[in-house]
Amino acid sequence: MQSAKELADKLPKVIKQQQIGDYLMLDYRYADWELFSNYPESREFRGTVYDVRNGDIVSRPFHKFFNLGEVPETTDIDLVGAMYAVKHDGSMAQVTYYDGASIVTGK
């Protein structure tokens, strides 16, 4: 958690920190290829919740991913023989049970 918080402190205009009680949520404010390529760990800041008492990850959504051809790392992927589905944009919600409490977050 410490290194994640340090990066969020370094980039406050890009990474939002929200603390409620003993829980800290890190969330990037907008999807930015430059941010993700310069700081790959920022892909995890999609609503990841930490317990500030011990640094545990309480809730971790899917990391940021991109559509085929959307960014340089997805332009040269061989899909021959692969099974895949169309990704529809939308909202993401997650419910976690941790330390006797339900925690609900969204993106």
Phi, psi torsion values for 13, nearest 5 degrees: -75, -15
Specify whether the CB–CB gap between 94 and 104 falls below 8 A.
yes
Is residue 87 among the annotated active site residues?
A: yes
**Catalytic residue among 10, 13, 64, 87, which?**
87
Structure tokens at 12: 């406050």
Q: Which residues are catalytic?
A: 87
